[in-house]
Structure 1
Amino acid sequence: MRISIVSDTHGYFGAWDKLYREYLQASDLILHAGDVLYHGPRNPIVAGYNPQKLAEALNQCSVPVIIAQGNCDSEVDSMVLAMPIQSPYSYVVINGMRIVVNHGHTFKDEEALFEAAKHFKAHVIITGHTHVARLNKRDGIIHLNPGSPVRELSKREDGRATLATLYNGKLTITDVDSGSVIQEELITGGM
């Protein structure tokens, strides 16, 4: 099973369209860690911002999408999407692997994040919010932030747009534009 993991699309249809054509349509499942449609008051509006068109694309997506609510997602966003925006967590079990998705904006620090993962007995906890892709492991739990697939919103030092994939027991963070692997981690337990 191929699971694609994204976050912080913030209404940018152009980025989603490229992402879907080049990566997501080959997936069996898409996990979205929130901030789906609205750009939010802290983010600039750049070319490709079209939340209505992104909502239509999500509604027509042939791949199932599970969304955890971000701090920029509101009830009105839920009204235009065919799938629910789950709050505050999405919880998925696939082949015995427990995956928790939360936008991440409510965790005061990384310690609190890992404590939540332990509470849910998660193998993987996925967050977004920072627009910075990262992958780290502590006490057998993997924390993944897929970053943002919108280059103009990336807060990485190198400015790269990113997504993550879980496939064949490996979590991979990929540069959306070049397709190059930025970071990867083997997963134990489940998958």
Structure 2
Amino acid sequence: MSIDERDTVSQPDTSMTIGVIADTHGLLRPEAVDALRGSDHILHAGDIGDPEILRVLEAIAPVSAIRGNNDDAPWAAGLPDELRLELAGVSIYLLHDRKQLAIDPGQEGIDVVIAGHSHKPLLEYRDGVLHLNPGAAGRRRFKLPITVALMRVHHRQVEVEHIDLLD
């Protein structure tokens, strides 16, 4: 999906907690569900693995999700490859693999780029844009942690907390 075909979810400029999860690969741990409770919106950055995961997350809060490279089953065909949203006045660009970022987020007015794929939690600024990888919440890969992230937005200021689900 191109940026011109994107979906937009718009919320007024307010306080909001956004749960961020990726790389469940068909396994939604109860610890992830507990960590995301209280979120006002949940973003899934791909490699979902099972549509039931989205249904469980939707029972917590509205969900915006994109397709990951392993989401090739027919149920995932309707998911976009990338998504641009505005939540609580913050512009968010969601894709699965940050290496496939084909736009200049700063020039596009993006505040936060969220990607999964690597299974490695990440929080860094690049050219004034926050880049976030929540890590993987599904099956462990190598010795990487099992994590999700919470983005707390207040008056367009973003704070991020990674939560280790097995700690």
1:116-159 residue CA offsets vs partner (Å, 9 max, x unmatched):
42353211000011111111112110111111012523x5x5x3
Amino acid at match of 1:125: V
CA distance in 2, matches of 1:7, 1:172: 15
Deviation at 1:114, TM superposition (A): 8.3
TM-score normalised to structure 1 length: 0.68
Query: CA shift at 1:90, angstroms?
Result: 1.2
Deviations 1:26-85 (A, max 9, x none): 111000100001xxxxxxxxxxxxx36535534x62311100111111251237xxxx52
Query: Contact between 1:70 and 1:105, CA under 8 Å: does it hold in 2?
Result: no
Matched, 1:23 2:35: yes
**Aligned partner (choices 90, 96, 100) of residue 89 of structure 2:** 96
Specify the alignment match of 1:71 in structure 2: 69
Distance in 1, matches of 2:65 and 2:138, equals: 17
Q: CA RMSD in A?
A: 2.4
Do structure 1's residue 162 and structure 2's residue 147 form an aligned pair? yes
Tell me the amino acid that sits aligned with residue 151 of structure 2: L
In the alignment, is the contact (CA less than 8 A) between 1:133 and 1:144 conserved in 2?
yes
- Structure with the bigger RCO (C-alpha within 8 Å, sep 6+) is 2
Evaluate the alpha carbon distance shift between residue 52 and residue 94 of structure 1 in structure 2; reply closer, same or farther with a 3 A threshold: closer
* Residue matched to 1:4: 19
C-alpha deviation, 1:177, in angstroms: 2.2
| Structure 2 runs not aligned, ≥5 long | 1-15
Larger radius of gyration: 1
How many percent identity over aligned positions?
29
| SS of residue in 2 equivalent to 1:152 | coil
Check the 8 A contact 2:26/2:138 in 1, yes or no.
no
CA–CA distance in structure 2, aligned partners of residues 130 and 2 of structure 1: 24
Q: More helix per residue: 1 or 2? A: 1
Q: 2:108 aligns with which of 109, 120, 124?
A: 120
Structure 2: distance between partners of 1:89 and 1:53: 21
Q: Distance in 1 between matches of 2:92 and 2:52?
A: 29
Taking a change above 3 Å as real, the CA distance of residues 19 and 35 of structure 1, as seen in their structure-2 partners, is same
Q: SS of the residue aligned with 1:117?
A: coil
Aligned length: 148
Letter in 2 for 1:11: G
Matched residue SS, 1:93 = strand
Cα pair distance change 1:57/1:96, threshold 3 Å: closer
TM-score if structure 2 supplies the norm length?
A: 0.77
Aligned residue in 1 for 2:163: 174
Is it true that 1:142 corresponds to 2:135 in the alignment? no
